[in-house]
Chains A and B, each alone.
Chain A
Amino acid sequence: GNSVTQMEGPVTLSEEAFLTINCTYTATGYPSLFWYVQYPGEGLQLLLKATKADDKGSNKGFEATYRKETTSFHLEKGSVQVSDSAVYFCALLSNNFNKFYFGSGTKLNVKP
């Protein structure tokens, strides 16, 4: 079956620190992979996506590379800001294009 596993949070960093949030997946075929962000009191927003192996998605300084050999899609940012504090969800779109699967979410707290 399809599933997404994320590192548990919360992750607490100081401003300008390097961020990594791990995400691994299980899927048949070749899913598309996504990172969504949820700010307090809001719905989820797409942060970045990748559609095939070795693709790199990037947005707002965040990056993630689709690694088929390790079935991973880790989220990274070189220098986090207080405004990056949110919950981050890794997700995949199944190969039959019918369902999205989400990880449990990782809360990021960035302190000034």
Chain B
Amino acid sequence: NAGVTQTPKFQVLKTGQSMTLQCAQDMNHEYMSWYRQDPGMGLRLIHYSVGAGITDQGEVPNGYNVSRSTTEDFPLRLLSAAPSQTSVYFCASSPNPRTHGFYNEQFFGPGTRLTVL
């Protein structure tokens, strides 16, 4: 199993550009989520999905869109990049917490380092 994969690893954008961060997992996990990691602020949840066709907002959803058309893929779209979106982005997946009870953990991808100029 490849686990959780993210592409690209690094990206530089200009203000106003759009792009999609890709995330895929091959563990048949229902739950997927996107976080951003900023110095001194830990990980903040952007969006999450509990299954194909179902998404919901996290703590900091503004400026980001997601969709979940398959179990495997959960892309994150930046519609019009802003310097405030410079961050490291992590995708994570886990079995559905509701059906797998408390014995759950999230598996993280290696991250995408995004710089918006």
Contacts and interface: CB of A to CB of B under 8 A. Distances in A.
Contacts of A101: 45
A32 B104 contact: yes
Given A98-B48, A103-B42, A43 B102 contact: no
Given A43-B108, A105-B42, A97 B98 contact: yes
A41 B37 CA distance: 12
Interface string A78-112: 00000000000100010001111111110000000
Nearest to A31: B102
Interface in A6-49: 6, 32, 34, 36, 41-46, 49
A68 interface: no
A98 B102 CA distance: 11
B102 A32 contact: yes
Interface size class of B (residues with CB under 8 A): 20 to 34
Contact of A100 (B102, B106, B110): B106
Interface of A is mostly: strand
Given A89-B42, A100-B33, A104-B42, A51 B97 contact: no
B105 A104 contact: no
Interface in A29-77: 32, 34, 36, 41-46, 49, 51-52
14 contacts: A43-B4, A43-B111, A44-B90, A46-B106, A49-B105, A97-B97, A98-B50, A99-B48, A100-B33, A100-B45, A100-B106, A101-B45, A102-B42, A102-B44
